[in-house]
């Protein structure tokens, strides 16, 4: 008999998937729920998996690993897909796959399964990552193959006495983790419609008094808030709560999915957006110009790789080596200013700062050699000057 390890969320689709695979494919199902910081009652999730028919249900707390090995590299790369989306869901899939594969080995399974539909990016990430890590494992996608509507699934659950939690949030497809929250579907499928206020939960403004928030970085990774050292999970959690309480950190965009669909997406990512902004700002004083520019060129490509499910790829690994090397001096502090509905940088400092006061100042402390500029500027413009005289505007003015 075949054994399958299913990436289990506790929701309707993966609960029905447990029973459907047992009935239709004659397999044993082991459920693996990964805690990537989405919160929730894990005992209840385990019980639901077992009630649906799983032979085993495991909850893996992967928050630390997710933060250190997936979120931190993305932050060092200032990774924003299409310039805006900090890759919330895209980052969690590879860590979940890593644990799915480990569980498949441990439980002697010959396949893994996920609950993604055929229209999204997540199926791509689950399957491509699994094939990269464990080409011998089969990947099953029950939700993609069963052809049931949402109503069918609910009926299926009732018929098989599978406990489900039906809430009003179910009109939306929500994916949560430490790095943020993605909300799709419902009335937002019309890109002109305003997202209903009820969809927001991390970015509801409650604070009215402006304040500062100082983020300390060590080699590109945030390590403290207002001088207090914090582990990465706790730090991100704290920044989410503080920045979110100013009602800042929402994204409303139409993005290009890997499968060719344009999709209206809304996100809440207060910590991700604030930390990327702070990190990039610290780089502005700690990275030499050419390094800063070349890195910026790679960042969008890096974000695309993650979005497109190519986390476990040699190009991604090579980019990581470059990015890690670039971060050796990215240590220091950035001060964020929070005001209702706003978050911005208003100060940065670093022991490795390349900002030279003597060179920059217009005051008496000026150490810049002004006399060097005249020759430099003349040579900088020499080629253009020659062009102008022979072929450009200068040739017409004085030509024969
Ligand atoms: N569009 C985002 C992405 O592809 C979010 C996907 C969220 N997934 C979900 N099941 N709601 O990364």
Q: What tokens does 101 get?
A: 């594969």
Pair 37, 178: CB distance under 8 Å: yes
Residue nearest to atom 6 of ligand 1 (CA): 89
**In a shared domain, residues 178 and 163:** no
**In a shared domain, residues 150 and 10:** yes
What number is the average pLDDT over the span 342-347? 98
What is the pLDDT confidence band of residue 165, given thresholds at 50, 70 and 90?
A: confident
**In a shared domain, residues 164 and 244:** no
**In a shared domain, residues 26 and 96:** yes
Q: Which of 113, 144, 169 is the last residue of a domain?
A: 169
- Tens of pLDDT along 233-268? 999 999 999 999 999 999 999 999 999 999 999 999
The ligand 1 site (C-beta within 6 Å) comprises 89-90, 121-122, 173, 175, 182, 184, 265
Q: What is the DSSP letter of 226?
A: T
**In a shared domain, residues 124 and 190:** no
Whether 122 is a known active-site residue: answer yes
The single residue of 122, 175, 176, 281 carrying the catalytic annotation is: 122
What CATH number should be reported for the domain holding residue 149?
A: 3.40.50.620
- In this prediction, residue 170 carries a pLDDT of 66
What CATH number should be reported for the domain holding residue 201?
A: 3.90.1260.10
**Percentage of the chain lying above the pLDDT 70 cut:** 98
Pair 366, 358: CB distance under 8 Å: yes
Closest of 323, 316, 331, 303 to residue 221, by C-alpha: 331
Q: What tokens does 294 get?
A: 């070349």
Whether the pLDDT of residue 213 is over 50: the answer is yes
**In a shared domain, residues 323 and 185:** yes
Q: Which domain range does residue 185 map to?
A: 174-349
Whether the pLDDT of residue 399 is over 80: the answer is no
What is the pLDDT confidence band of residue 164, given thresholds at 50, 70 and 90?
A: confident
Residue 220 lies inside a defined structural domain of this protein: yes
Question: From the CA atom positions of the chain, what is the Rg in Å?
Answer: 26
- Tens of pLDDT along 173-197? 899 999 999 999 889 999 999 999 9
Residue 360 lies inside a defined structural domain of this protein: no
CA distance 58 to 73: 27
Whether the pLDDT of residue 345 is over 90: the answer is yes
**In a shared domain, residues 161 and 309:** no
- Tens of pLDDT along 4-37? 999 999 999 999 999 999 999 999 999 999 999 9
Q: What tokens does 310 get?
A: 């190519």
- In this prediction, residue 80 carries a pLDDT of 98
- In this prediction, residue 1 carries a pLDDT of 55
H or E, element range at 244: helix 232-244
Pair 207, 264: CB distance under 8 Å: no
Residue 222 lies inside a defined structural domain of this protein: yes
Residue 387 lies inside a defined structural domain of this protein: no
As a whole number of Å, the end-to-end CA separation of the chain is 93
Distance 244 CA to ligand 1 centre (A): 20
Distance 175 CA to ligand 1 centre (A): 7
Q: What is the pTM of this model?
A: 0.96
Whether the pLDDT of residue 169 is over 50: the answer is no
**In a shared domain, residues 110 and 187:** no
For residue 81, give the ligand 1 atom closest to its CA. 12
- Tens of pLDDT along 35-77? 999 999 999 999 999 999 999 999 999 999 999 999 999 999 9
**Averaged pLDDT score across all residues of the chain:** 96
Distance 338 CA to ligand 1 centre (A): 28
**Total domain count for the chain?**
2
Residue 89 lies inside a defined structural domain of this protein: yes
- Inter-CA distances, 156 with 48, 149, 150, 152, Å: 15, 10, 10, 6
Residue 383 lies inside a defined structural domain of this protein: no
Residue 289 lies inside a defined structural domain of this protein: yes
Which sign does the torsion angle of CA 152, 153, 156, 158 carry?
A: negative
**In a shared domain, residues 187 and 317:** yes
Q: Which of 328, 349, 370 is the last residue of a domain?
A: 349
Residue 17 lies inside a defined structural domain of this protein: yes
- In this prediction, residue 146 carries a pLDDT of 95
Q: Which of 169, 192, 207 is the last residue of a domain?
A: 169
- In this prediction, residue 171 carries a pLDDT of 80
Whether the pLDDT of residue 293 is over 60: the answer is yes
What is the pLDDT confidence band of residue 168, given thresholds at 50, 70 and 90?
A: very low
Whether 13 is a known active-site residue: answer yes
For residue 88, give the ligand 1 atom closest to its CA. 12
Q: Cβ contacts of residue 339 below 8 Å, gap of 6+? A: 210, 246
**In a shared domain, residues 121 and 59:** yes
The single residue of 93, 125, 250, 258 carrying the catalytic annotation is: 93
**In a shared domain, residues 94 and 182:** no
Distance 125 CA to ligand 1 centre (A): 11
**In a shared domain, residues 104 and 213:** no
């Amino acid at each position: 008999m075949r054994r399958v390890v299913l990436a289990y969320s506790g929701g309707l689709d993966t609960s029905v998937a447990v029973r459907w695979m047992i009935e239709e494919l004659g397999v044993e199902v082991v459920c693996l729920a990964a805690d990537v910081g989405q919160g929730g009652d894990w005992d209840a999730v385990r019980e639901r998996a077992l009630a649906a028919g799983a032979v085993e249900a495991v909850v893996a707390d992967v928050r630390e690993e997710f933060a250190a090995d997936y979120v931190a590299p993305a932050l060092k790369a200032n990774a924003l897909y299409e310039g805006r989306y900090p890759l919330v869901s895209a980052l969690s899939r590879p860590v979940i796959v890593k644990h799915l594969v480990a569980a498949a080995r441990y439980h002697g399974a010959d396949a893994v399964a996920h609950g993604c539909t055929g229209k999204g990016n997540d199926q791509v990430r689950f399957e491509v990552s699994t094939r990269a890590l464990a080409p011998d494992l089969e990947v099953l996608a029950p939700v993609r193959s069963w052809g049931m509507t949402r109503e069918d699934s609910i009926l299926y659950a009732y018929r098989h006495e599978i406990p489900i939690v039906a809430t009003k949030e179910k009109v939306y497809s929500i994916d949560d983790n430490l790095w943020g929250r993605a909300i799709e579907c419902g009335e937002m499928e019309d890109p002109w419609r305003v997202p209903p206020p009820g969809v927001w939960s991390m970015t509801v403004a409650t604070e009215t008094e402006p304040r500062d928030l100082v983020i300390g970085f060590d080699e590109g990774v945030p390590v403290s808030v207002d001088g207090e050292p914090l582990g990465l999970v706790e730090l991100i959690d704290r920044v989410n709560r503080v920045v979110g309480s100013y009602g800042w950190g929402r994204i409303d965009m139409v993005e290009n999915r890997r499968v060719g669909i344009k999709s209206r997406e809304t996100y809440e990512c207060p910590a991700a957006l604030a930390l990327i902004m702070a990190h990039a700002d610290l780089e502005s004083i700690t990275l030499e110009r050419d390094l800063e520019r070349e890195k910026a060129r790679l960042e969008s490509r890096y974000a695309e790789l993650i979005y497109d499910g190519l986390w476990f790829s040699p190009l991604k690994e090579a980019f990581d080596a470059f990015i890690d090397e670039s971060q050796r001096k990215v240590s220091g502090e950035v001060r964020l200013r929070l005001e209702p509905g706003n978050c911005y940088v208003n100060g940065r400092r670093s022991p490795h700062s390349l900002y030279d006061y003597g060179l920059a100042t217009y005051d008496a402390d000026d150490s810049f050699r002004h006399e060097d500029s005249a020759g430099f500027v003349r040579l900088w413009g020499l080629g253009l000057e020659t062009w102008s005289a022979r072929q450009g505007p200068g040739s017409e003015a004085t030509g024969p």
